[in-house]
Every structure is written in structure tokens, then in C-alpha cells.
Chain A
């Protein structure tokens, strides 16, 4: 069961984009990633309009005091498991708005963040790369957790997780592979 969930999650993560007081630069670049040039929709990544449908929250901006409670509420409304990407320098650290009286210092001041993508603004390539890496990473974690549940002895003995996971044939990951690439790499297939 866990495998199926992982597989489904990794294949088509739906993102929710939330502007927490950014300058628009990171927002237009995030939306740009959905447009024909970069077209992340061919990997099944879709922009969703409500937090209740989203798997990944892409938050931009240094988080203004006005947006902080809203950001928290949107985060709480997302169903588990959820991932958070802080897109842009100011989402990561506050950036140029560091020390402004109405700003927090980045998204992680308010909610936990799983991935930081720097850049002012982050380019669509960087964003796609970030999402892919994040999925690979979270896939591995979930895998390790399940493994630890099932076969505690392997993990305890210190066998590297990679070796302990049985290799799978490539059967289930051919659909997205034929589109010509521009800028972005293929999402790293996550072993299930």
C-alpha cells in the first residue's frame, strides 16, 4: 500500500503557489514554469487553486506580518503528506527585505520548509529542478521509513538503504520520457 501511495505522489504532485508578500518576480517565474516553454504539466505537475488539493506549497516572498497567519492557515489546510518549497532568496532568508519592520525572515519563520530554492528571482529551471530533487528526497525518506518498519534488522545492522531496497524494473516510468528537454532534466525516477 505504501508503495502505491508513494508512486502516486511522486508521479503527479500538485502545487499550490502562495504569494506571501513577494515582489512578483518569483511569482511570474513560478507561473512561467507551467507555460509552454517549460511546461511542467507534462510531468503531471499541476497548479491547483485550493490548498485542499495540493501536495506541494510553493511559497514566495519574505512573509509580511499580514500574510503570516494566512500562510499558516493555508499550510494547515493542506492534507498530509505535504511538502513546502521556499522559492526565492527572500522566501529563504528575507533577502533584501531583511530587517523591514513589516516582514518576517522568510517562510521558515512561520512554517517548516523542506526545500529552499535561492535566486532573485528563482528561474523556472531552478524551480523544476528543486521540485524533482525534493520528490526524490522525500521518496527516499518514505522508503526508508517503511523499510525500517518492515525489516528493522537491516537498518540496525547498518546496511546502506540503497542496497537493501530491491531494484525494480523500469516498467512504470515510460510515459513522460519522450518529450524533448529544454533546460530541465528528467525527474529522477524514484525507486519504489
Chain B
């Protein structure tokens, strides 16, 4: 029986109980042990990078915000920081503090959400309900400050749109006191709780050399002992004015990631307290001119902007061509950097551990979805296009399509299909 090295293939997804987003895995198993894994992540591909090219810089903020509902502030901040650099705008300190504050509130909300989902994946629903209940403290604060629970839309080019009042600062401090108590509780109980230990210890291990080789970012990297954090390495917003520690661990397993994330919540509370106490007076925007006037003259240039999103380092690349719309926006999200470590750590673990190993990197599929183009292999090398061929292929494809009013449902697997490689065409 054991000769068959390839084993059985088990497809999982796209609609499946464990993650809230569509993803499809093909696991190759030998008995109960996984020997190989393949992923198809493109179910959420919407074509935002293309759509943003037809929007003005201001409209683009709100479109890019909707890449992901969990780290919306990360995307807008990365984009606005990039455009500000292009325009050479100096963001006033008060605005930088407000950005930091919202960013850290968002980090707490994202990590609490993860803690809950991780609890759910290991069958520990009590933790799920606890974590999501305590998360409401942050959601309420965000709603009070910005007016919305999920898409805060507080960034604009050159500053922020809403001010923080003194009452806000007080409610924030009160909320943080409540939350800090809960986080102390989690810090004490979660890593010592028997259920969590049994499911997480030595599961999905990513050793340091593997993390470095695959360039793991965020909490995944930090839990494997790679102390990368854009907030420390290349401070933006107000991070050079506040004190905080980069939490690391060297075990590299799921328990380490849990510990790191809970530790980061504690650090975020520390940052928020400092911001709420020390926020300087001043303007909210870099310039009193209406943004349209500024943005009519974005110089021809390109910029790479980095931001430490809750899941790790987020990179936005913006190229301006002197008009009022961007010429190219490219986004490298942290989840994309962390996927290879999942494939590696899935190999050799049990089928039953799949959900928690996958959830362990806190995947955000709506950020990550890209599309690979399947070709007939006649273009250049094997399945490879150069830019002109791609353009030609695109024009042909759209011509074919224009005959059909709406693509029919069954013929859907035409030319686009999933793949982790490749770019958004």
C-alpha cells in the first residue's frame, strides 16, 4: 500500500466552513499526513489595480480602502503616504498622530478578530466569543471617532478628514483601560490553556531560516525570530515619537504567533495611550488649498510606500504620469508574502490541522487574490507572455467577448483561472 508516494488528493473549498473567504486547496495526503498542498486563491479577484487607473487620486483612496475591510486604514495610509511623497507634502503632526491612533486601533481589532477565528479553528468557541465581544470596545471607539465601523475613510491626501476632540481622547483612554484588563487576562490564560497548547504547540512550525528564505513578514516572521517591523525600521506617521517594543518569539509555531499577536495588542494599547495623552495641537491638512488643485499637478515620478499592516509589511507602488489619475498602482500585500510558508508548514502535518495552520498566518484573501493567465502555450516560451503579446491577447479576448452580451455561467473557466503566481493582468 505504501508505494504510492503521491497519495490521494482532497479538494477543500471554495465554500467551506472554516474560513470566511473563498479559497481552494488541493491537499495530497498519505493516510492522515499531508504530503503536498496546492492553492487557488483567485476567487476574490476583482480587478482593483485596473479600476484604480480610471479614478482620480482622491477617488482612488476610497476604492483602495475597499481592497480589504479588515485593514482598510493600512491601504489608504500606504497610498496617501506615497502620493504625499510624490507631491512633497509635509503632513502636520496632529494628522500624523491621528493616523497612528486609527492604525493602532485597527491593529487591535484585526488581532482580536484573528484570536477569535483561531479559537474557532481549534474548536475552542469560547475564546472566539470572548475575543469578538471584547473587540466591540475598539469597534465602538472607531465608530465614534470616524463614523463607521469598518471603512473609516479618515485619510485624505495631505492629512486627515476628522478631528479628535478632548472627549474622544477621554473615551479612548477609558476604553483602553477596559481592554488592557482583558488583554492581561488573555496573556495569562491563552498560552497556558490546555486546549490551545494541545492544538498549537509545535504545529505549523516555520523555523527562522525558512522564514528568512521565504521573506515571511509581520507576526509570522516575528514569531520565527525575524524582528522586522516597518514601524521601527522606517518610521512613518508618528511612530518615531512613541515608545513601543517589537514583540518576537523564537519558537515559530502557532503558539508563538498567538503570543506575539496578543503581545502586539498590549503594545498597541501602549501606543494609543501615549497618542491620546500627547496629541499636539495644529492643522489637520498640509495645505488649505482644495485637494483637486494639488492633485492636478502630480509630477511624473514613481514611489514605493511601506506600511506595517496588522498582517505585516504592506507595499504600495504608485507611478504618476503627470495627469490627475495614477498610471500604475501595484500592491504587495503581506498575506502574499506569507503564503509560501503555509505550503511548507502544511507538508507533514495532519489533515485535521489544516484550518489552523492556514489561519495561523491570518490570511486575507481579498487582499491577495491575483489572477494567472492560462495560455495555449504558443506565446513565446511556455505559458509566458511579454507585454505586447499580453496586450494583443487582451484585445483578442475582449473582441471575442463583445459578441456575447454576458459571459455564460457554465463557460466561466475560459481564460482566467486561479494561481498564486502571476500578476493582476
Contact = CB atoms under 8 A, between A and B. Distances in A.
A167 interface: no
Contacts of A31: 20, 132
A70 B366 contact: no
A90 B46 CA distance: 12
Contact of B416 (A20, A66, A72, A110): A66
B62 interface: yes
7 contacts: A18-B15, A19-B21, A24-B366, A36-B132, A64-B44, A99-B51, A121-B69
B17 interface: yes
A49 B355 CA distance: 14
A139 interface: no
B43 interface: yes
Contacts of A121: 69, 149-151
A21 B44 contact: yes
Interface stretch (A2-10, A100-108, A155-163, A184-192): A100-108
Contact of A24 (B17, B21, B371, B407): B21
A95 B65 CA distance: 13
Interface of B: 14-17, 20-22, 42-48, 50-51, 62-63, 66-70, 72, 113, 129, 132-133, 136, 149-151, 364, 366, 371, 407, 409-410, 412, 416, 418
Contacts, number: 128
Given A37-B136, A121-B69, A64 B45 contact: yes
A35 B129 contact: yes
Contacts of A100: 46-48, 50-51
A66 B70 contact: no
B43 A29 contact: no
B345 to A, nearest CB: 24
Interface in A6-43: 17-29, 31-32, 35-37
Interface residues of A, number: 45
B51 A97 contact: yes
B66 A37 contact: no
B374 to A, nearest CB: 13
A72 B412 CA distance: 12
Contact of B42 (A25, A49, A66): A66
A23 B68 contact: yes
Given A17-B20, A23-B66, A23-B72, 14 more contacts: A21-B44, A24-B364, A28-B69, A28-B70, A29-B149, A36-B132, A36-B133, A50-B17, A66-B22, A66-B412, A67-B14, A68-B412, A70-B15, A101-B51
Contact of A27 (B17, B66, B69, B151): B69
B62 A23 contact: no
B47 A24 contact: no
Contact of A35 (B14, B16, B132, B149): B132
Interface of A: 17-29, 31-32, 35-37, 49-51, 61-62, 64-70, 72, 74, 90, 95-97, 99-103, 110, 120-121, 123
Contacts of B67: 23
B17 A21 contact: no
Contact of A69 (B21, B364, B410, B418): B410
Most buried by B among A29, A50, A70: A70
Contacts of A35: 129, 132-133, 136
A19 B66 CA distance: 14
Contacts of A51: 15
Contact of B113 (A18, A28, A102): A28
Contact of B43 (A17, A21, A96): A21
B17 A49 contact: yes
Contacts of B66: 23, 25, 90, 95-97, 120
Contacts of B129: 35-36
Contacts of A49: 16-17
B69 A69 contact: no
Given A27-B20, A35-B133, A100-B51, A66 B45 contact: yes
Contact of A70 (B14, B46, B132, B151): B14
Contacts of B150: 25, 28-29, 121
A102 B398 CA distance: 12
B58 to A, nearest CB: 14
Nearest to B67: A23
A119 B337 CA distance: 32
Given A29-B149, A37-B133, A101-B47, A96 B63 contact: yes
